[in-house]
């Protein structure tokens, strides 16, 4: 048996990852979640999720601008 609490925690799931990326985009991450991300999360997962979010955000804004400016 291992009594070390850090080894017993599992990495954040998809929902927690998405919440963290959205909170980071808005700049409203709680310190509890930030601590969880840095201790249990993998940087590569957050980087990929951030790139995907940025691409989707830019595509959404570009689509809205194109729809509004159609003449």
pLDDT digits (tens, 9 = 90+) for 13-59: 889 899 999 998 888 988 888 888 888 888 899 999 999 999 999 99
Rounded Cα distance between 60 and 62, Å, is 5
Delimit the domains of the chain by residue range. Answer: 11-68
Rounded Cα distance between 56 and 35, Å, is 27
Alpha helices in 1-71 (DSSP H): 5-8, 14-26, 31-40, 43-68
Residue 1: band (very low, low, confident or very high) from pLDDT cuts 50, 70, 90: very low
* Number of neighbours of residue 20 by Cβ within 10 angstroms: 22
Quick one: how far is CA 50 from the chain centroid? 6
């Amino acid at each position: 048996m291992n009594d070390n609490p850090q080894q017993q925690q599992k990495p954040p799931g998809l929902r927690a990852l998405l919440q963290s990326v959205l909170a980071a985009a808005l700049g409203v991450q709680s310190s509890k979640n930030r601590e969880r991300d840095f201790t249990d999360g993998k940087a590569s997962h957050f980087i990929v999720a951030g790139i995907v979010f940025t691409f989707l955000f830019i595509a959404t804004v570009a689509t809205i601008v194109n729809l509004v400016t159609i003449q």
